[in-house]
Amino acid sequence: MTSKVEKAITDFVKGGDNSDVALLEKVLHKDFRVTNNGFMGRPGVTIIDKEKYIQNIRDGIFGGLPRKMVIEHIDESGTVALVKLRLESSENYFVSYNSLVLDTDNEWRLINNLAVVESKK
């Protein structure tokens, strides 16, 4: 199963990097959320739902830059998995904690992305 979790994570990153909304629609759970503390310099917690996340990808607010990805850890337990990633784009460093669920169609889907983003500038 771990290879399927790895594929879901890779598809999520590729979907963002390539602004591939169709791929993201496939890999994100219907209740997907991005959770961030200090998002874009704003104090406090910001939560973005799937609809807003996809729209931000379409509008070019998120994504569109290739990133190097290193999967640091996968912890899978039955129908849930947690994945820690390190990503690097030309503009930012990311540490990303991702929660996945095995959906009713037996496919792994991301349900939460919790990321810390640090600008290279």
How far apart (Å, rounded) are the C-alpha atoms in residues 92 and 50?
A: 22
| SS3 label, residue 68 | strand
**Strand 28-37 relative to strand 108-119: parallel, antiparallel, unpaired?**
parallel
| SS3 label, residue 21 | helix
pTM: 0.91
Model confidence at 38, pLDDT cuts 50, 70, 90, reads: confident
23-36 pLDDT, tens per residue?
A: 999 999 999 999 98
Q: List the structure tokens of 85.
A: 């990633």
How far apart (Å, rounded) are the C-alpha atoms in residues 80 and 9?
A: 13
How far apart (Å, rounded) are the C-alpha atoms in residues 21 and 44?
A: 28
Question: Is-contact 20 14, C-beta < 8 A?
Answer: yes
Whether the pLDDT of residue 118 is over 90: the answer is: no
Model confidence at 43, pLDDT cuts 50, 70, 90, reads: confident
Residue 97 or 44, more confident: 97
CATH of domain 2-119: 3.10.450.50
